[in-house]
Amino acid sequence: MTRILVTGARGAVGTHVVRELTHAATVRTWSHDAGPLRQAMDGIDRVYLCAADGPGKVHAETAIIDAAAEQGVERIVKLSALHADPASPLPAHRWHGEIEAHLRRSGVPAVILRPAFFMTNLLMVAESVARTGTLHAPTDGRRTAMIDIRDVAAVAAVTLLDEGHAGRSYDLTGPAAVTFTEVAAALTEATGFPVRFADLTEEQARPRFENAGLPDWLATQLSGVFALIRAGGFEHTTGHVEALTGRPARDITGFAQDFVSAFTPARVAL
């Protein structure tokens, strides 16, 4: 069986990647606090590459790429992002662009996965939605091709296991680009409680990002992502999830149902 190293294995996507691969490959997991990389890479054929976003990301992922190149690993599947670009003003998009460039220079055959906006980002505001019945975001009414991370993981598994993907980049989206009004409708339907969408202006949203207690880079990233949404940068959908996995991509209705408890107001004890 193919021997696959899953890095960032405790991560949101990594957890699902491990689950997808377990019955089809020999899986070894490596977490950033797990010790020598070279030892983890010993005897490995293919690598799933993901470290946490943050200022240490480029260093962490390029070290994994270098160790893989040294061991003669035959393929790396890198979790990147739509709009990855070494010249991007958005920190995570810039880091991904730099890592992609390093990966190309390494000579290790690679598959680049560039997902759009994760549906699970909505969990960041789930408590506020449950408390206030309102979903706030600065979208200017534009659509976002949100993707379920379980589909990102399924594509990662296919491109790790199957032949014919090395050298390819896949932009990954859900089945449709949705407005946040449609997201609110899906949450209303799932929870049985009314959820309305309040579209904010950039000026109204800025203090929310700045005062949320987030690291500066994350506040910059989030406000930059919504600027891209307002510019229509997430409206395009692709059919790669279905083409690669053989199953339709999960939609926002299913996501709202699967995560309903996070968005549902706590019942008041009578």
Ligand X SMILES: NC(=O)c1ccc[n+]([C@@H]2O[C@H](COP(=O)([O-])OP(=O)(O)OC[C@H]3O[C@@H](n4cnc5c(N)ncnc54)[C@H](OP(=O)(O)O)[C@@H]3O)[C@@H](O)[C@H]2O)c1
Contact 160, 25 (CB under 8 A): yes
CB of 122 to ligand X, least distance (A): 10
Choose which of 10, 19, 102, 208 interacts with ligand X (CB under 6 A): 10
3-state secondary structure of 136: strand
- Indicate which single residue of 18, 40, 49, 51 sits in contact with ligand X (rule: CB under 6 A): 51
Site stretch for ligand X (CB under 6 A), options 12-20, 134-142, 234-242, 252-260? 12-20
Q: Is 14 in the site for ligand X (CB under 6 A)?
A: yes
By CB under 6 A, the residues from 74 to 133 that bind ligand X are 79, 81, 92, 115, 117-118, 121
For residues 179 and 196, which CB has a smaller minimum distance to ligand X in the complex?
Answer: 179
CA 188 from chain centre, in angstroms, equals 25
Residue 131 CB coordination number (10 Å) = 10
The residue among 143, 219, 211 whose CA lies nearest residue 181 is: 143
Size of the site for ligand X (CB under 6 A): 22
Q: How far does Cα 170 stand from its chain's mean position?
A: 13
Q: Which residue number has the CB closest to ligand X? A: 11
Nearer residue to ligand X within complex by CB, 133 or 262: 262
Contacts of residue 158, defined as CB under 8 A and 6 or more positions apart, other chains included, come to: 165, 244, 245
Tokens standing for residue 233: 């940068």
The structure tokens 């994994």 sit at 64
Provide the binding-site residues for ligand X, judged by CB under 6 A.
Answer: 8-14, 31-32, 50-53, 56, 60, 79, 81, 92, 115, 117-118, 121
